[in-house]
């Protein structure tokens, strides 16, 4: 059985037997810009994939898997003028920094660039799904609004409204589904385009991979084993591509990758029913879980997956929606762009203070300034990591 494989090569690219027919490869200029690795895709049987993996210049090879957005747990229409409480909770409303000079990136379902929340911005879109630019789902627009949305009718929606340039990689379709090929390409593109903060609220569809292999004739046990190996290889590919973000740090070419942990936990059923964050979150620089507004302190969202680095507001979050409208959503997908936005504020702060700024020092600042005193008592580090992300 032949499958599509992602291949990350060190120092250049190989010669391919189907070079002229390979429409999936990234363009040469983008590959040359990174200087150290080249990402390409090829259709191979298992024997050919094993042979390629043995090549000394191959860093990682992984089969393409299906992906899906981290779907919101609940949704409701929101009225213009309804405040976004996460801006206050994280301290962004009190910060003198806005993310000015920071290049933001969102890899999701695209964006409705004509929305009032993005007025006057330099938005650069790139579609990796074949469906074309724009957002027919709404999830990507909502996440972008939380990250860097402008004020509308006097109400602020974005954590980092001073961001002027945004890279929008459409890696999921209208139904919220895609493949790791689209995400690998989108992530590679965002890093090569020198995005400073990259936000991703998506995950790998492991059950779907098992079902697909069973449908192709494999027994359930073998399909599960094969899917686990695919998952492991995919995790390694995410790590390898994200490691490119450290190249050129001496020139402050920082690309910090932030990802949502997921919404599969069910603490409302059993307090110990906690699902660990997925592969995308685990491979990223910072993984993010969701907290809910509470009296007097913030509590962990019942659905929020565990083992995050940080937590951020993720329940009842109002932001932009398609049709130039607004919607309130619950999910770690909403918490993730809060951390991305606070990361933009910290990066601006560090640059203005003259601090030596790298991906590592930026991450360290976000971790070091996280707060635990605003969280409800009894919450464990496995649920909240270092605490609530906090603005400079």
d(CA 257, CA 32): 22
Task: Return the SS3 of 74.
Answer: strand
Task: Please tell me the predicted confidence (pLDDT) of residue 147.
Answer: 98
For CA atoms 133, 139, 142, 147, give the dihedral sign: negative
Check residue 250 and give its pLDDT: 46
Three-class secondary structure of residue 232 per DSSP: helix
CATH class of 67-384: alpha beta
What tokens appear for 328 in the block?
């309130």
pLDDT of 366 reads 97
Question: Which secondary structure element, helix H or strand E, spans residue 43, and what is its range?
Answer: strand 37-44
pLDDT tens digits, one per residue of 161-178: 999 999 999 999 999 999
Residue 215: count of CB within 10 angstroms of its CB: 9
Q: Which residues contact 215 (CB under 8 A, 6 or more apart)?
A: none
pLDDT of residue 74: 73
Task: Measure the CA angle with vertex 171, ends 170 and 175; round to 5°.
Answer: 95
The burial of 38, by beta-carbon neighbours within 10 Å (0-12 exposed, 13-18 middle, 19 or more buried), is given as: buried
What is the per-residue pLDDT for 3?
Answer: 87
Sequence-distant (≥ 6) Cβ neighbours of residue 149 within 8 angstroms: 117, 118, 156, 157, 158, 161, 319, 320
Regions in the chain scoring below 70 on pLDDT: 11-35, 75, 77-83, 245-253
The DSSP-derived string for 307-344 is: --SEEEE-SSEEEEETTTEEEEEESHHHHHHHHHHHHH
Give the residue numbers marked as catalytic. 108, 139, 333
Q: Give the chain's length.
A: 392
Write out the two tokens for 111: 């964006």
**Alpha-carbon span 35 to 16, nearest angstrom:** 20
């Amino acid at each position: 059985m032949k499958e599509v494989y992602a291949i990350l090569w060190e120092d250049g690219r190989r010669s391919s037997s189907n070079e002229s027919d390979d429409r999936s490869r990234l363009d040469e200029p983008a590959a040359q810009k990174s200087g150290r690795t080249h990402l390409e895709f090829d259709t191979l049987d298992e024997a050919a994939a094993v042979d390629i993996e043995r090549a000394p210049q191959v860093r990682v090879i992984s089969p393409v898997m299906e992906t899906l957005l981290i779907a919101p747990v609940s949704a409701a229409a929101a009225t213009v003028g309804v405040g976004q409480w996460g801006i206050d909770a994280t301290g962004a409303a009190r910060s003198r920094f806005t993310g000015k000079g920071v290049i933001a990136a969102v890899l999701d379902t695209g964006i409705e660039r004509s929305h009032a929340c993005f007025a006057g911005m330099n938005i650069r879109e790139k579609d990796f799904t074949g469906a074309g630019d724009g957002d027919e789902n709404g999830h990507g627009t909502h996440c972008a609004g939380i990250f860097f949305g402008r004020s509308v009718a006097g109400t602020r929606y974005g954590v980092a409204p001073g961001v002027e340039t945004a890279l929008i990689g459409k890696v999921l379709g209208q139904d919220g589904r895609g493949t790791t090929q689209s995400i690998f390409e989108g992530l590679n593109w965002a890093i090569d385009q020198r995005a400073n903060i990259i936000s991703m609220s998506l995950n790998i569809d492991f059950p779907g991979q098992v079902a697909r292999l069973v449908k192709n004739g494999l027994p359930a046990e073998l399909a599960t084993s094969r899917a686990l190996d695919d998952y492991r290889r995919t995790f390694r590919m995410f790590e390898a591509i994200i490691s490119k973000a450290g190249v050129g740090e001496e020139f402050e070419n920082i690309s910090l990758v932030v990802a949502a942990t997921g919404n599969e936990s069910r603490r409302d059923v059993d307090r110990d029913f906690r699902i660990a964050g997925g592969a995308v979150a685990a491979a990223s620089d910072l993984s993010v879980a969701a907290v809910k507004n509470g009296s007097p302190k913030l509590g962990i969202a019942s659905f929020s997956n565990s083992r995050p680095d940080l937590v951020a507001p993720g329940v009842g979050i109002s932001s932009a929606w398609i049709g130039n409208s607004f919607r309130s959503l619950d999910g770690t997908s909403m918490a993730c762009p809060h951390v991305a936005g606070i990361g933009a504020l910290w990066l601006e702060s560090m640059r203005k203070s003259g601090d030596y700024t790298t991906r590592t020092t930026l991450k360290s600042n976000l971790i070091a300034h996280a707060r635990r005193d605003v969280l409800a008592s009894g919450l464990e580090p496995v649920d909240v990591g270092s605490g609530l992300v906090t603005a400079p």
